[in-house]
Every structure is written in C-alpha cells, then in structure tokens.
Structure 1
C-alpha cells in the first residue's frame, strides 16, 4: 500500500541499514488471511495507544525530545507495519527526534493501517458489523466489538460443515463396503442360472462346427 506522503518522515537510514521486510502477496486483491487480520488488529491497538500518549505529551511540550524508551517502542511498531504500509526496498523507520514529529509519524501509520483495513473488509448485513474478507470464510473485526451472534455463527457454520462432510464420507465408505461384500459373496457362490436365458446353438452360431462333427 502506498504512503500518504511522497517522502515519509521515517528517515533515510536505519540502525540496521536493511530494507523493510515485505509481506507475501495475498491470494486475491481485497482478501487477506486470518494471520494477517489478527496481526493487523493487534498492531493497530498498540499503535493507537502509543499515538494517544504521544499526542497528549506533545500537546504540552511539542519540541520535547523523544525518550529512548518511546523511540525504541515506536520504531518497533513502525517496523511491524511493513506488511501493510511499506514500499518495496524502503528502509526501516527511524523515530522522530521530538514528540510533535513522532505524533505525526504514528498518525500517518495509523491512517495507512486503516486504509489497508478498508480495502480488505466489508460490511456484513446479517449482523451489522464489519468483517475481514478472508481467503476462506470471514472473521469479524474484534476491536470494533461485533455482536456475539457473529462469532457464534462463524463457529456454528464451520461445525455444521464439518458434520455434514463427516456424514457424507461415512455413508460413502459404508456403501463401498457393502457393495464389495456383496460382490465377494456372489463370486464365492457363483452366478445363479437364469431360467429365462436363451441358450444358443453353437452350430448355428459357428457354422464351421458342422463340418467338424
């Protein structure tokens, strides 16, 4: 996903000097995986909490230097955003030196996460909540506190599918066993004679047999 600015304020160099890791391409545009959805939600919560605290501190002293502890946490979270917001070959982020700059960085990262979320979710009219569009099935966005019915339906739906599949497999195996058993018993007993069958005359079927008689 592209950033909202052409020159992100993450700095041109990083302590490691390594390009940001890239996420594996998703199965289809607009769809994601359960692992990425869970990672996104956890990251959004941590980033939002740090952004809130930074904004509160920066409102009092915007030019105050960023503490080492805040810088380490911020750079770690901004690096974790790589699968969602970083461009290819982009360097790992470096936190801003002051609180005002750090608040801007975190705010931009949050906006980028929300943009990525909007392109991988949709509105579920059944339960009136937003859901992740997964490669297989769906997952409600938990941080938005979806109704319990959405979570219950998801579990029940998959359990019902498993149950139906198990019954179908069992019936198929039972049918194959019974057919094989009947075929084996018939082979041992020999095929019964059909009284209605018409026995053909070999001499009529094979005229050359007459000359051999």
Structure 2
C-alpha cells in the first residue's frame, strides 16, 4: 500500500508514469543498499574496472610485483576471466607457497578452466594450510565442481562446510543454494529455514550484515 501512495505522489510531482516508476525503483534500490543489501552494487563493476586498470599499470612498471599480480588475478576471477587469472597466478607460484588464499585462488582458476583434478588438489592444499580460509567457501567451490561428476563427493564437501558454521545466516543460505543445485530440495528447504531461524536469533548488531541472506532465504523458500 505504501508503494502505491509513494508512486501516486511521484506521478503527481513528475506528471509522467515512467519517470515516477524509475524514481520509485531508485528509492527502493537506495533503501535496500542502505538497510538490506539484496540488490547488487551498481558501482562495484566500475570500481573493479578501475582497480584492474591501476594494477595493470603497476605490473607494467614493476613486473616482479607479486602483490599486484595476485590482486589482479583475484579481480579477474571475479570477472570470470579464469584463463588470464591462471597465468598470473602461475607466474607467482614460487613466492606464494605458504599462502592459503593463493592456493584457493589458483585452484578455483584451474577448476574453472577444466583442470578439475589439479584444481581440487590446490584447494585442498589451501584448506590444509588454513582450514578456515575464506570462511570455508572453498568447500562450496569443490561441491559445485563435483555436483555432476560425483554427487557423493559434492555432498561430502557440503557437509564439511556445514560443520564449520552454526550461527551464520549466510552460510545456511549458501548451503541451501548448493543443495538445490544438487537436486536435494528438502535439504535445501531446511537450510533456508535454518538461515531465517539463525537470523532471528542474532543480536541486533549482527542482523544488519546478515539481513540480506535471511531475505534471500525467505524468497528461495517460497519458490
């Protein structure tokens, strides 16, 4: 009801229904970004492109800059440019042997470029160095990689991720999403319900950062 009232006011102000709808959507987006966080950031791709450009310049000026090469590879993985990211990561291998983050990144790049065996080994190396690297998300990547070829292994990796998280709405949302991919619809439904239950049990200061996952779980449970 409130949205219709706001739309009516905007239509009265602008005198054009299309402009009123656009402004209403902008208001909803701004409020979501401020208080919930379900919608993706429209500025993130721009910021990432600028970072990539800056890092490329750094590397051109200093080819041995390991930190810039690793950060550039990470951003390229975000952009799904896995082949280019893999080349960068392989070029800094000797300097990054003790970094769990590095092994997870190169494992991810290898998984996404079709080298499942080596990619799995790399990610397991990351988890061996630091079992909680990136909050256990490497387990989700492994589960996703094996969801078609070896569902039993995929479920095993999911359970390992599950054992790491008992008070995270986000973790249960991710768990439910992966169960859906694997066709485990009842388990997915239970995970989404648990995501909402965990959110309700959190102290107020934690709810802001977990709210979007509870909202997403709510809608996933509906459909």
TM class by shorter chain equals under 0.3
**Structure 1 or 2: more helix by fraction:** 2
Q: Tell me which protein shows more strand as a share of its residues.
A: 1
Question: Who wins on radius of gyration, i.e. which is larger?
Answer: 1
The normalised TM-score by structure 1 is 0.25
What TM-score, normalized to structure 2? 0.24
